[in-house]
Amino acid sequence: MIMKKSSISNNPLQLKSLNHISVACRSLERSLDFYQNVLGFFPIRRPGSFNFDGAWLSNYGIGIHLLQCDVDLEKEDVPAAAITRINPKDNHISFQCESMAVAEKKLKEMEVEYVKSRVDEGGVYVDQLFFHDPDGHMVEICNCDNLPVVPLLPAAAAVVVRGGGCRSSESNILSLGRPCSTLNSSTSS
C-alpha cells in the first residue's frame, strides 16, 4: 500500500489547536461586560508591553482578545443597521452549549436579541441561537455536537491500494470509512 505524504501529514504548519480570537471593540468596558456576563469568559493577564488598550479573556479552551479600536466614540458610532440585523450567514464564532433551553432562557432574561434556527440532517437536529456582541460581531450558541463529524476524503488524500485489497472499479482509490463490501469494487491480487 502506498500513501501520499499529504494524506499522512496534512498539517503543513504543525498546528495544535485554536488559541484565541481577536475582536476589535469600540468600548472595552461594554465588551468586557458582554464576554464575561453573557458568554462566561473570565479575564486573564495580558502582557503590559502592548501600546494599546485591550483585555484578554479565557474559557472553554479558547481565548478572546479584546482590542480597543482607535475611534472617537462621540464622533463615530456604529451604524444601527450594521448591528441590528442578525444574519446567521454572517461571519461568526460558535459555542457549543449544554442546554439550548437554558441558553435561550438566559438570553431572554438578559434581553439579548437573538434569532433561532434549526438544521435538520436526516432526522438529526441542530438548534442554533444567533446574536451580536456590543460591536456587532455575530455569536452563535448551538448543540452542534448532535451532528457527527464525518471527514470528507479528498482525492489528493486518497489511499492507493496496490497488490490486492479493496479497490474501486473506476480507480485505485480506497474509500475510507466505508467497508469494502459497500464499494462497487473488485478484489485483485
**Can you give the pLDDT of all 189 residues of the chain as single tens digits?**
554 555 446 888 888 888 999 999 999 999 999 999 999 999 999 998 988 899 999 999 999 999 998 765 445 555 544 566 898 888 899 999 999 999 999 999 999 999 999 999 989 999 999 999 999 999 999 999 998 888 898 754 444 444 444 443 333 333 333 333 333 333 333
The boundaries of every CATH 3.10.180.10 domain in the chain are 18-70, 82-150
18-70 classified as CATH 3.10.180.10: yes
- What does the alpha-carbon distance between residue 182 and residue 114 come to, in Å, rounded to a whole number? 44
Specify the pTM: 0.68
Residue 71 contacts residue 64 (beta carbons within 8 Å): no
Q: Which residues are catalytic?
A: 140
82-150 classified as CATH 3.90.1150.10: no
Q: What is the maximum alpha-carbon separation in the chain?
A: 77
